[in-house]
Amino acid sequence: VIYEDEALLVVNKPAGMAVHGGSGVSLGVIEQIRLELPQQKFLELAHRLDRETSGVLLLAKKRAALVALHELMRPDSEASSNATRMNKRYLVLVAGEWKNKVQHVKLALQKDVTEDGERRVHVEEGGMAAHTIFRLRQGYGDYTVLEAVLKTGRTHQIRVHLAHLGFPILGDDKYGDFELNRQLMKQGLKRMFLHAWQLTLPHPVTGEILNLEAPLPAELEKYLNKIN
C-alpha cells in the first residue's frame, strides 16, 4: 500500500498480476483486495495496468471518488484541462539509441480482438487519438531508459507507440523483439521493462495534490546495474 484514506487505496502492483479476473485469471488485484477487506462495501479500480506492468495502481473506496477520478482522466473534461489534472509517468527501457530529449508522439490507435480473445492494438489513421510524451532519461549503449507521460489512456499505448517507432520495450512479449527477448531472458531480464512509477493528481474529495510514487522494482534496478 502506497497511500490510503477513506476515499482512496493506492497500491504498488507487482508484474505478472492482472488487475482483474477473466481470460483464464481467476483472481486479479481487485478480487484479491476485496477478499482481504470484506468490510469495505465499495471498492473499484479507477484505472488499469497491463498484467506485466508494475507500479502505481489507484482504487476508489467511494463511488463519488470513482466518478471524480474518471472525470479527471477524461482529456476533454473541465477537470482534466486545468493545471492540476492527473499526471501518469512510466519508466521504460527500450532497444535502440533514443536521441531526442523530449518527443511528442501522436499516433492514432486501433484495437482489435483476435479469434482466441487476445487484444491487439496497432497504429492506424482514423483510430482513437493517442498522445504520449517521451523524455530521455539515460542511454545504455544499445538501450535507452525513457520516461513516458500519458496524455491519453489507450490500451497498450506506450508499448505500441514505441514498437511502431522502432524502439520496442525490452521483454515485451506482444509487441517487442522476440529474438532479443529470448537473449534477455538468459541475461536475467524475465519480464517487460515497463513500470508506472509516479502518479500526481488532486485528491478527488479534498483537492489536495497527491504525489504517489512506486520505486523501480529490484529486478529492474538489478538489470540496469548489470548493463551499466
Amino acid letter for position 71: E
For every residue of 170-222, DSSP letters joined together read TT-TTTS-HHHHHHHHHHT--S--EEEEEEEEE-TTT--EEEEE-PPPHHHHH
Distance CA(110)–CA(120), nearest Å, equals 8
Q: Residues with catalytic annotation? A: 50
In b/e form, how buried is each residue of 184-195, taking b as 16+ CB within 10 angstroms?
Answer: beeeebebbbbb
DSSP 3-state assignment of 16? coil
C-alpha distance across the termini of the chain, in Å:
31
